[in-house]
Amino acid sequence: MGKEYAIGIDLGGTFIKGGVIDLKGKVLVSTSIETRADGGPSHVLGRMAELSREVTRAGRIAWDQVKCVGVGTPGPLSRAKGIVYTAPNLPGWENVPVVRTLKRKLQKPVFLENDANAAGYAENWVGAGRGASSMILLTLGTGIGGGVVLDGDVWHGRDDAAGELGHMSINFDGPRCNCGSYGCIEAYASAPATVRRALDGIEQGKRTSLKKLLEKNGEITAKDIYVAAVGGDKFALQTIQATGKLLGIAVSNFVNIFNPELVVLFGGLAGAGDTLFDPVRDEVRKRALKPAADTVKVVPAKLGGNAGIIGAAGCALRALEISAS
Amino acid sequence: MGKEYAIGIDLGGTFIKGGVIDLKGKVLVSTSIETRADGGPSHVLGRMAELSREVTRAGRIAWDQVKCVGVGTPGPLSRAKGIVYTAPNLPGWENVPVVRTLKRKLQKPVFLENDANAAGYAENWVGAGRGASSMILLTLGTGIGGGVVLDGDVWHGRDDAAGELGHMSINFDGPRCNCGSYGCIEAYASAPATVRRALDGIEQGKRTSLKKLLEKNGEITAKDIYVAAVGGDKFALQTIQATGKLLGIAVSNFVNIFNPELVVLFGGLAGAGDTLFDPVRDEVRKRALKPAADTVKVVPAKLGGNAGIIGAAGCALRALEISAS
């Protein structure tokens, strides 16, 4: 039968990424296809099944060598029921029986996982958190997602709804968040929140190279801001530092709650490097309790865009192991 | 040899409580002695050893029937090293080798546990959270402590420093907390914070029965406030509701982070009943994400003053089991 593998699928609103991952978390092959979400859930599920076959062929392994398929999706889901309740940016996705459908199409064990949890599991398995006994992952993007990995397993909670770390309020009177609450860290330190702070500054007449960029492109991105910051633009630097400080307040809370070995920052803004990480770490030193504040490491993620498929595959292998034991 | 038991010791600044607990978490006998903390650590450790022998005699069981001794203490400690680093209200307690000393005196396996963790374990074992797969406990008193019990075990973190739930900031620009940070839930919703809010109102001329009580006693307590609230005093009611709302903001964060089955409120203020619990639950419904917000139960603790000894004994039995496996 040869070496064994798992397939990892990372479902996004624009692309579906798929890959073949070996039992040590190494990516044998990976590829992306368009989601074509407009086609609706059953069309997308068909594409996910095709992609699973395709990466297996591309990896030149036999279908028999595939132990299981892991699927990472955004939004609330039930692992036990194998259902995605809703998925942001995927029209028509309501109570979609992902596991049942893919099991039928692929004739393999299929497991669901929240995408931020999958990224967290992947970073703990073979990434920045390899070997860490406890790890908190924050995904910094349009929103802020979270993954809590304790003793090597994702903490899922009662309803697979744990790890919504972006929706911890750090100011109960703060700005309204997309979730309906106030002052969530997502409302303060997501990419859009960072861009908004920069735009406010530009409007107020701050001197910054971002103004020209805004005039030229009609918009600026979080990446524009940290690239300008690293390039010496003072206002851009202050903007990233402000985001770092706000993230640091949130991380301090997680340190007091979990006393984790590691906090991993994942996604776009984490690319800002020490410009972002220094104020995060400063805030943890100032705010969190000893000894946890002294021992925690705050580091960038390592696996980049592959974290989703590695984690989906890894969580599926782990679930298979648990269900067999 | 007969039935087996564990001894639970709950070390406080004023009293040491001790008890004999059976393997099902039932208290056979319990008693309290003065701590006499002024005598220093070795004197207090001697008293803890005496108390262990005393409750065993009082329970009419043989020393052979005692499997282990669990000690709950406030403040930072290392379970692995068996050392209490510091203990608030216990003068001279710095790096005290509690486990080594008591092992020598008692010739039994001895285990350390943080007192709020012990209370959390106890409530999950035989109290309000019996059978819950996940439970967050908040101890409401002079400070706010926490215990996180996941899949039946206390989550300790890397350095036994996890569960400092009172030091989650819910307003990064909020009032200075004893821990040095700002806007911690302890600074908003502890008993002293609640009393302070009442005193501010009285000073501002609010009509309340608490004013007379203050003049008579020279002070008011958190209990005075909720007794007045339950008795129909509007201002007292608003004061308790304000504390409940603030606690509810914190609980909403814990719901988003852990998606726990249960949140248990323990200690003085929890005695306020629905006057406190209703605003807590309201805030969770308003702020936390579904489905976690819908499924979580927020309830008062059940074990009262015995939680400390039951939990210390229970954690010791659990640690013995883990070390044997």
Q: What is the pLDDT of residues A45-101, one digit of tens each?
A: 999 999 999 999 999 999 999 999 999 999 899 999 999 999 878 999 999 999 999
The CATH T-level fold of domain B5-120+305-324 is: Nucleotidyltransferase; domain 5 (3.30.420)
Q: Which of chain B's residues have a Cβ under 8 Å away from the Cβ of A284?
A: none
Confidence band (pLDDT; 50, 70, 90) for B75?
A: confident
Average of per-residue pLDDT values in chain A: 96
Whether residue B41 is predicted with pLDDT greater than 80 in this model: the reply is: yes
Q: Which of chain B's residues have a Cβ under 8 Å away from the Cβ of A257?
A: 146, 148, 162-165, 168, 257
CA distance linking residue A152 with residue A253, whole number of Å: 21
Average pLDDT over residues B239-254: 98
Best mutation target, A160, A246, A256, A262, to test chain B (most B CBs within 10 A): A256
Fold match between A5-120+305-324 and A131-301? Answer: yes
> In this complex, is the C-beta atom of A134 within 8 Å of any C-beta atom belonging to chain B?
yes
**Roughly what angle, to the nearest 10 degrees, separates helices A222-230 and A210-217?**
150
Q: Which of chain A's residues have a Cβ under 8 Å away from the Cβ of B137?
A: none
Average pLDDT over residues B121-133: 97
Query: Encoding tokens for residue B66?
Result: 């005692």
Q: Which of chain A's residues have a Cβ under 8 Å away from the Cβ of B146?
A: 257
Q: What is the pLDDT of residue B82?
A: 97
Question: What separation, in Å, do the N-terminal and C-terminal C-alpha atoms of chain A show?
Answer: 22
Closest-approach residue (CA) in chain A for B181: A287
Whether residue A9 is predicted with pLDDT greater than 70 in this model: the reply is: yes
The pLDDT tens digits of the residues spanning A99-138 come to: 999 999 999 999 999 999 999 999 999 999 999 999 999 9
Q: Which position has the token pair 């003068």?
A: B91
Q: Which of chain B's residues have a Cβ under 8 Å away from the Cβ of A289?
A: 161, 164, 167, 179
Least confident of A141-145, B132-136, B310-314: A141-145
The pLDDT tens digits of the residues spanning B128-138 come to: 999 999 999 99
Whether residue B119 is predicted with pLDDT greater than 70 in this model: the reply is: yes
Query: Encoding tokens for residue A131?
Result: 């070997």
Contact A148, A154 (CB under 8 A): yes
Strand partners, A262: A135, A297
Whether residue B105 is predicted with pLDDT greater than 90 in this model: the reply is: yes
Percentage of chain B exceeding pLDDT 90: 93
Average of per-residue pLDDT values in chain B: 96
CATH architecture for segment(s) A131-301: 2-Layer Sandwich (3.30)
Q: Which residues contact A162 (CB under 8 A, 6 or more apart)?
A: A148, A155, A156, B257, B258, B259, B292
* Chain centre to alpha carbon of residue B318: 19
Q: What is the pLDDT of residue B94?
A: 95
Confidence band (pLDDT; 50, 70, 90) for B324?
A: confident
**C-alpha dihedral over B93, B95, B99, B104, to 10 degrees?**
-80
> In this complex, is the C-beta atom of B78 within 8 Å of any C-beta atom belonging to chain A?
no
> In this complex, is the C-beta atom of A224 within 8 Å of any C-beta atom belonging to chain B?
no
The pLDDT tens digits of the residues spanning B142-198 come to: 999 999 999 999 999 999 999 999 999 999 999 999 999 999 999 999 999 999 999
CA distance linking residue A113 with residue A75, whole number of Å: 10
Query: Encoding tokens for residue B325?
Result: 């496996």
Tell me if B256 and A164 make a contact (CB, 8 A cut-off): yes
Average pLDDT over residues B36-61: 96
Q: What is the pLDDT of residue A1?
A: 58
* Closest CB to B171 among A160, A173, A259: A173
Least confident of A147-156, A244-253, A265-274, A300-309: A265-274
Interface pTM, i.e. ipTM = 0.96
Break chain B into its structural domains and give their ranges: 5-120+305-324, 131-301
Q: Name which of B198, B204, B264, B272 is nearest B235 in CA terms.
A: B198
Query: Encoding tokens for residue B310?
Result: 């039951």
Q: What is the pLDDT of residue B107?
A: 98
CA distances from A125 to A153, B150, B189 (A): 10, 21, 39
Q: What is the pLDDT of residue A34?
A: 96
| Shortest CA gap B231–chain A (Å) | 30
The pLDDT tens digits of the residues spanning A196-215 come to: 999 999 999 999 999 999 99
Confidence band (pLDDT; 50, 70, 90) for B1?
A: low
Q: What is the CA angle A173-A178-A182, rounded to 5?
A: 10
> For residue B110, how many other CB atoms are within 10 A of its CB?
26
Task: Count Cβ neighbours within 10 Å for each residue of B170-185 and write b for 16 or more, e otherwise.
Answer: bbbebeebebebbbbb
CA distances from B182 to A171, A233, B235 (A): 11, 31, 27
Tell me if B170 and A165 make a contact (CB, 8 A cut-off): no
CA distance linking residue B87 with residue A324, whole number of Å: 45
Tell me if B296 and A158 make a contact (CB, 8 A cut-off): yes
* Closest CB to A291 among B76, B163, B296: B76
Tell me if B257 and A179 make a contact (CB, 8 A cut-off): no
> For residue B261, how many other CB atoms are within 10 A of its CB?
20
Chain B, window 246-265: residues with a beta carbon less than 8 angstroms from a chain A beta carbon: 246, 249, 252-253, 256-261
Tell me if B181 and A291 make a contact (CB, 8 A cut-off): no
Tell me if B252 and A181 make a contact (CB, 8 A cut-off): yes
